[in-house]
Amino acid sequence: MPISAPRPALIDRFGRRITYLRLSITDRCDFRCNYCMAETMQFLPRHRILSLEECLRVARIFVDLGVSKIRITGGEPLVRKNALWLLERLSTLPGLKELVLTTNGSQLERYALPLRQAGVRRINISLDSLDPARFRAMTRVGDLARVLGGIEAALRAGFDAIKLNTVMMRGVNDSELESLTQFAVNRGIDIAFIEEMPLGAVDHRRGDTYFSSDAALARLRHRFDLVPSTKNTGGPARYWRVAHSPTQVGFISPHSHNFCADCNRVRVTCQGELFPCLGQDERVDLMAPLRRHPDDDVPLRQAIAAAMGIKPEGHDFDLAQPRPKIVRFMSMTGG
């Protein structure tokens, strides 16, 4: 039998192989979470965001260059018209092993089963509170009952895995760590607790609301028998298994336990900016080669390869700064 040629690889200047692309398909969202964006946002006009066909082209080239996992993000990706069209086509890309999606859950009652049928195997759902009033305050506009209904719809749809994501904020929702974990245990799904990331100027001081993964773990171990886990989803979370349960509890710790040494991911925004690092401002424009060379992938491949040369060794978030180093909001980069 003929020996197939090895697939090309994206390797940065520190020897890290990039196998994971987070692709944002919209900057728009039907929530206004107070750690993610301003209450009043100005969103991009249509001509300044990638078309779904352009998103597919970018993804195809990344997979051809060795990426095996793609996560679709936003904003809220399910508010993008015809998002299912894109997901159906991404799921058939040769060489793509994982197609996953992150959502706030607001649209899941409608889309959970179609997402599963489109080829999405794993889904992350943001859930920062189980208290309706607190949930509304944190999201500014969100309806907790709608999100909980979406979670139940996702369970019925039969995804390979469902994970809840909770951004921890001291004095806001840190009293709910145990109840959120129990919620996940009761449903046999995973949960990840995330240290708040200082992206964008928000209406509170990040240092005042910072809650560390170590503090969260210590709290949870008083109530749950947590066993160190070797689980690795290809992302930055480090996991503990709840004894006698399929539930795994993850911690994403950009401040307290920097995960940069084994970073395997890059992000592409909905306007075609390739960010090699979430915590830095260096970027490469992919929209220009996309649109200048619609029938020639070489310039786009060269632009992606060039980004490997500017991927930094790590980020340097500093909660002591009065203003965030990164002024763009999380929703603009892709959640």
Going residue by residue through the chain, which has 335 residues, state the pLDDT in tens, using 9 for 90 and above: 444 555 678 999 999 999 999 999 999 999 988 888 777 778 889 999 999 999 999 999 999 999 999 999 999 999 999 999 999 999 999 999 999 999 999 999 999 999 999 999 999 999 999 999 999 999 999 999 999 999 999 999 999 999 999 999 999 999 999 999 999 999 999 999 999 877 555 555 656 888 999 999 999 999 999 999 987 766 677 899 999 999 999 999 876 556 677 889 999 999 999 999 877 788 999 999 999 999 999 999 999 999 999 998 865 655 555 554 555 455 566 65
The closest of 76, 71, 82, 86 to 28, measured between CA atoms, is 76
CA neighbours within 13 Å on the CB side: how many for 54?
A: 25
**AA letter at 59:** A
Which CATH class name applies to 10-333? alpha beta
Residue indicated by tokens 């970027």: 283
Residues in the chain, how many? 335
Three-state helix/strand/coil letters over 138-198: HHCCCCHHHHHHHHHHHHHHCCCEEEEEEEECCCCCHHHHHHHHHHHHHHCCEEEEEECCC
Task: Spell out the residues 6+ positions from residue 72 whose beta carbon is closer than 8 angstroms to its own.
Answer: 23, 24, 25, 83, 86, 87, 90, 99, 100, 101, 102
Helix (H, G, I), strand (E, B) or coil at 326: strand
Whole-prediction pTM: 0.89
